[in-house]
């Protein structure tokens, strides 16, 4: 500052002006309140298009608010972790399954918001604490399994309900391969797909005693190796897509739509991508096989958005969140991901996935397991799960090497 001697009257006038701006909901510079929204949505994700349209509608009615929708990066989780630690907190961010266990101390509690009465009770175990507080607007209730091309399986004579353990699943793959269909597709470019492979398998791949061991700080190397042995076997047999290293989410959606692949271990939003290539394609999702129990589905908190409790524009951010929570708007967003809405007063067009929902979810015959990494691995393990599984899929690393790296990082992070 060139001149530190400012008259007291001038300071009071400036303070009054600033207070007036804050009270009016404008930005500190008197212009629009600029709200940073870290979406964790890929640039080509259909839900981002829908969110953009809704945001533009909101901004048209609220010219004093400017909302920046930031697409995801491959390092989203690590980036958010660093920003929270440094105090550089986004106004709104996607909590990717961690609104309660990881982010709640940074987020505004939402149980008293006008739309909170419609919170889907199925999400309570994953999103509410003992005091009944929750910290993010749930867009959808995440229920996932293995996505498959129904026509491909029917032509090959494969009933997905019969693939109850990994032996029966693996036995079906040569039939698909012989028919010229890629049995399993994943993505090394959008590399979180590789993490999904291990995470899906592990979610129902351990006994209760083994799971208790993880919670006590004991990484079960033998149990985890048994799961990756299956992945290594599929790799050795050539059952993964040859373009794995360069394939993107769009490529996988196209492969499902064109019937050139059978299975993808991914949440149901990939179905929306596939339908963009062929609206008539018949797709479904099946329970994940298990060698230690019954087949299962995975799920919990899906796409959910929270507001920073210390945001300079918290009032505007909460108002925008309430706009997204309006039944017609939330229904649009939930339908884009093919998911069950996170609020009970919204609806979702499940389209071609309705039969899978009726058979595997509504029937109540298959348990819904939480994502393994969210409950049984310490914070920071996701990137290790991605990289180690990727090394097995590409054949650049062995199962033993992958397991050793997982165990080493588990021990280090658990101590923290």
Do residues 123 and 150 both lie within one domain? no
User: In the listed set 310, 325, 351, which residue is the last one of a domain according to the structure?
Assistant: 351
Is 356 contained in some domain? no
Nearest by Cα to 297 from 106, 91, 147, 137: 147
Q: Where are the beta strands (DSSP E) in 256-372?
A: 261-265, 283-286, 297-301, 304-307, 340-341, 368-370
User: What pLDDT shows up at residue 380?
Assistant: 86
Strands 92-94 and 304-307: antiparallel
- Domain CATH code at residue 387: 3.40.190.10
What Å distances lie between residue 229 and 21, 166, 178, 369, 372, CA to CA?
61, 11, 23, 22, 18
Please identify which residue in the block is written with the tokens 């490529």.
Answer: 251
Do residues 130 and 180 both lie within one domain? no
User: What pLDDT shows up at residue 126?
Assistant: 85
User: In the listed set 351, 375, 392, which residue is the last one of a domain according to the structure?
Assistant: 351
- Consecutive H or E run containing 13: helix 8-24
Q: Are 66 and 58 in contact (CB under 8 A)?
A: no
Q: Are 155 and 329 in contact (CB under 8 A)?
A: no
Query: What are the beta bridge partners of residue 307?
Result: 92
Do residues 275 and 373 both lie within one domain? yes
Q: How many CB atoms lie within 10 A of CB 62?
A: 17
Nearest by Cα to 74 from 185, 197, 189, 199: 189
Q: At what angle do helices 166-178 and 221-236 cross, to 10 degrees?
A: 10
Do residues 92 and 207 both lie within one domain? no
Q: Are 273 and 250 in contact (CB under 8 A)?
A: yes
Per-residue pLDDT tens, the chain, 416 aa: give them: 222 223 222 323 323 232 233 333 344 445 789 999 999 999 888 899 999 999 999 999 999 999 999 999 888 988 999 999 999 999 999 999 899 989 999 999 999 999 999 998 878 888 999 999 999 999 998 889 999 999 999 999 999 999 999 999 999 999 999 999 999 999 999 889 999 999 999 999 999 999 999 999 999 999 999 999 999 999 999 999 999 999 999 999 999 999 999 999 998 889 989 999 999 999 999 999 999 999 999 988 889 999 999 999 999 999 999 999 999 999 999 988 778 899 999 998 788 888 998 899 878 889 889 899 988 999 889 999 999 999 999 999 999 999 999 999 999 999 98
Nearest by Cα to 184 from 148, 157, 159, 154: 148
Q: How many CB atoms lie within 10 A of CB 196?
A: 23
Domain range for residue 63? Answer: 31-138+301-351
State how far the Cα of 388 lies from the Cα of 386, in Å rounded to an integer.
6
Tell me the pTM: 0.73
Q: How many domains does the chain fold into?
A: 2
Do residues 40 and 119 both lie within one domain? yes
Do residues 89 and 235 both lie within one domain? no
Do residues 213 and 105 both lie within one domain? no
Do residues 252 and 370 both lie within one domain? yes
Phi and psi at 177, nearest 5°, equal -60, -40
171: DSSP letter:
H
Do residues 250 and 102 both lie within one domain? no
User: What pLDDT shows up at residue 240?
Assistant: 98
Is 23 contained in some domain? no
Is 6 contained in some domain? no
- What strands lie across the sheet with 261-265, from one edge to the other? 182-184, 261-265, 146-149, 283-286
User: What pLDDT shows up at residue 59?
Assistant: 98
State how far the Cα of 208 lies from the Cα of 271, in Å rounded to an integer.
32
State how far the Cα of 249 lies from the Cα of 48, in Å rounded to an integer.
14
Do residues 210 and 264 both lie within one domain? yes
- Consecutive H or E run containing 193: helix 192-203
Do residues 238 and 127 both lie within one domain? no
Is 16 contained in some domain? no
Do residues 77 and 222 both lie within one domain? no
């Amino acid at each position: 500052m060139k001149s530190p001697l400012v008259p007291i009257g001038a300071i009071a006038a400036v303070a009054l002006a600033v207070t007036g701006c804050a009270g009016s909901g404008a930005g500190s510079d008197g212009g629009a309140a600029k709200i940073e929204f870290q979406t964790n949505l890929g640039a080509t994700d259909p839900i981002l298009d829908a969110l953009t349209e809704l945001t533009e509608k909101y901004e048209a009615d609220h010219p004093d608010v400017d909302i920046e929708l930031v697409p995801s990066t491959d390092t989203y989780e690590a980036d958010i972790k660093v920003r929270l630690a440094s105090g550089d907190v986004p106004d709104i961010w996607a909590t990717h399954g961690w609104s309660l266990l990881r982010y709640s101390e940074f987020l505004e509690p939402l149980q008293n918001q006008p739309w909170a009465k419609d919170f889907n009770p199925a999400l309570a175990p994953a999103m509410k604490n003992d005091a009944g507080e929750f910290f993010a607007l749930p867009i959808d209730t995440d229920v996932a399994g293995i996505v498959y091309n129904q026509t491909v399986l029917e032509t090959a004579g494969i009933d997905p309900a019969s693939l109850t353990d990994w032996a029966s699943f693996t036995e079906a793959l040569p039939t698909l391969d012989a028919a010229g269909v890629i049995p399993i597709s994943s993505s090394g470019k959008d590399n979180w797909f590789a993490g999904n492979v291990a995470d899906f398998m592990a979610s129902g791949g351990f006994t209760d005693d083994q799971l208790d061991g993880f919670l006590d700080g004991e990484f079960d190397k033998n149990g985890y190796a048994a799961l990756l042995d299956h992945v290594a076997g599929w790799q050795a047999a050539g059952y993964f897509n040859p373009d794995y290293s360069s394939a993107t989410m769009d490529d996988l959606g196209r492969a499902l739509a064109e019937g050139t692949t059978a299975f993808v271990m991914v949440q149901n939003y990939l179905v929306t991508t596939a339908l963009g290539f062929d609206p008539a394609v018949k797709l479904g999702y099946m329970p994940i096989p298990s060698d230690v129990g019954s087949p299962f589905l995975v799920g919990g908190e899906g796409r959910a958005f929270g507001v920073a409790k210390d945001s300079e524009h918290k009032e505007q951010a909460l108002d925008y969140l309430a706009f997204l929570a309006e039944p017609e708007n939330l229904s649009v967003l939930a339908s884009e991901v093919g998911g069950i809405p996170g609020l009970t007063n919204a609806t979702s067009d499940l389209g071609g996935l309705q039969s899978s929902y009726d058979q595997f979810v509504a029937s109540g015959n298959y348990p819904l397991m939480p994502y393994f990494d969210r409950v049984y691995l310490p914070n920071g393990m996701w990137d290790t799960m991605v990289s180690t599984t990727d090394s097995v899929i590409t054949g650049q690393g062995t199962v033993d090497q992958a397991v050793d790296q997982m165990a080493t990082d588990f021990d280090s992070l658990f101590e923290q």
